[in-house]
Homo-oligomer: A and B are copies of this chain.
Amino acid sequence: MDVRAQILTQATRLFADQGYDGTSVQEIAEAVGIRKPSLLYHFKSKDELRENVLAEMLAHWNAVLPGLLLKASTEERFDATMEALSEFFIEDPDRARLFLRETLDRPEQMRAMLAQFVQPWVELLGDQLERAKEQGLVQRDVDPQAYAVEVITMAVAGTAVIDSLQVILPDDPARGSTRKRHTSELIRIARSSLYTKSEGEK
């Protein structure tokens, strides 16, 4: 792995762990095994590094998420999609925490990002839910866009804070690990608050 990629990897991890302001350039350089001025040769400033970390995260999401969401729309397999979506965040909690942190730290910038990358998919999902409502498959009082936003919030935030929840949501022999319980209940809530009963029951 070349140095640039190593810098991005360590920066992602440290920004997710400690936040942008809580992480020094020095600390990232040490994690990579180089000196601070060497890092600043690859990325001209700490801010430029942050932008590259975010761009990489977005690129990864754009490569994977469309497939998940299209699967949902074409196959009407909402369960499988929700499970994939949840596992997509669980698989790399750093990304979920980074996303949440940036939304808190730079709401203005995140607004622009959401408009560009998330809104089209929420819109598309909204249209499909609207049609499913007309066919009686989906509960009539659903607000499709708001529903999508709440479910995504639950998936992202739930993943970001999962490690703090072990006290409240301990591993359970009958129900599985903390993560499993979180994922299962997230999916159950999302499904059971969406479909009409005849469709929602197994």
Contact = CB atoms under 8 A, between A and B. Distances in A.
Interface size class on chain A is 35 or more
A103 interface: yes
A114 B167 CA distance: 8
Chain A at the B interface: mostly helix, strand, loop or mixed? helix
Contacts of A181: 143, 145-146
A160 B111 CA distance: 14
Contact of A150 (B103, B139, B142, B154): B154
A149 interface: yes
B188 A142 contact: yes
Given A146-B184, A158-B153, A188-B141, A164 B197 contact: no
A64 to B, nearest CB: 20
Contacts of A111: 164, 166-167
Nearest to A178: B146
Interface string A59-86: 0000000000000000000000000000
